[in-house]
Structure formats: structure tokens, C-alpha cells
Amino acid sequence: MNFRLKVWRQKNPKTKGKLVQYEATNVSPNTSFLEMLDVVNEGLVAKGEEPIAFDSDCREGICGTCSLTINGEAHGPDHPGAACEVYMRRFKDGATIVVEPFRAKPFPLIKDLVVDRSALDRIVQAGGFVAARAGSAPEANSIPIPKHHADRAMEAAACIGCGACAAACPNASAMLFTAAKVSHLAFLPQGQPERTSRVLK
């Protein structure tokens, strides 16, 4: 498969950025989007050019680090899912793909496709944790928890903190992220002592 990429390049927050065109050729349909960018970067390095800067870590849809906007959609066309879980078979052969960083005020640009996501970290530091020492994982049945509470807590805890909700929101609001981090603890017994004060911090 062959693709034409239009990638946002910007050296730092103070310089002017622009979309730069690259060709991705002979790409396997089973290649992930980030692997495709890796191959493009290998070609740029071989030509003595600066590679495209982008964030990634687990590449398994867990950490939320791969904050990319693909064709105007946060994380690309597969929902729910992170950019690292998008495979090139999702695009038509010969397609033009526009790759940009998250466009939201809470995520100031650092370089190219890399943004500063520390605003989300500050939300977690403010109230997305349990201060009580919980120790190691207890035996599963030692603390009775109603199933519907456990299910709701798990649904909220499924938020990987990627920030796509803020990037996709016209107001760049991270309320979905904030609500998930606050509520998944409030549903469990360990989070009850701080439940009323958590959102006031």
C-alpha cells in the first residue's frame, strides 16, 4: 500500500509550523500507524533529514501517550481506540492522510506532533488518587463490593488519560477525563473517605 502523508512540522512553540508532504510506500496493511511513521522516519534519517517527532510508549492502547490527530479525528478513525491501534488497512491504498498534533489549549505544542500533556497529570495530582495506604492487592473477596458499583468503577477506570476527549471537544474541555478519574475512585470503598473532598481540591 502507498500513502501520501501531510504531517505537521514545527521545531518549537515559537516557530511557525506547516504541513509537510511525505510518501509512505510499500506499506503492509498489517502495519500499525505508528510503525508506518517509524518507517517514514527511517527514510528521513537515511537522507540526513530530521525525523518526525511523535510520542509513543506502550503501543498497546493502554498508556494514552500517542496523541495524534489523523484526518481531523483524535486518534484516527477507529473508536474507541488509540492511534497506536490504528492499522493501515483502515485506509484506502493511495489515500492522503493528514497527521497533526492534538489541537487544544490544554496541550501546548512542544515539537511536530508532540504536545505537553502535563495538564492531565495535574488533574490526577489534585484528586485522582487515594491517600489512604491500600497496600498490595487484597484477596478478591475480602472487601464486598456490589457488582453494579464495581462495573461502574471499571467503566470509569477504562479511561487511559489520552486527552482525546479534550482534543475533540470544541471547548477543549477535559470534563470526561476529570469525571472518570474522580468517579472511578468514588464508586469503591477505598475511595469513600475522601469522596466529598476530592473534587474540592
Q: Half-sphere exposure of 144 toward its Cβ, with a 13 Å CA cutoff?
A: 1
Domain that holds residue 151: 118-198
75, 83 Cβ separation under 8 angstroms: yes
Does residue 20 sit in the same domain as residue 109?
yes
Both 165 and 107 in a single domain? no
Per-position pLDDT tens, the chain of length 201 = 999 999 999 999 999 999 999 999 999 999 999 999 999 999 999 999 999 999 998 998 888 899 899 999 999 998 788 999 999 999 999 999 999 999 988 899 999 999 998 988 888 777 767 776 767 777 777 888 899 988 998 998 888 888 898 998 888 888 888 888 888 878 888 777 777 777 765
- Give how many domains the chain has, as a whole number: 2
**Three cell numbers, residue 16:** 511557525
Whether residues 9 and 95 share a domain: the answer is: yes
Residues 103 and 144 in one domain: no
Rounded to two decimals, what is the model's pTM?
0.86
Last residue of a domain, one of 68, 93, 115: 115
| Three state DSSP letters for 69-105 | EECCEECCCCCCCCHHHCEHHHCCCCCEEEEEECCCC
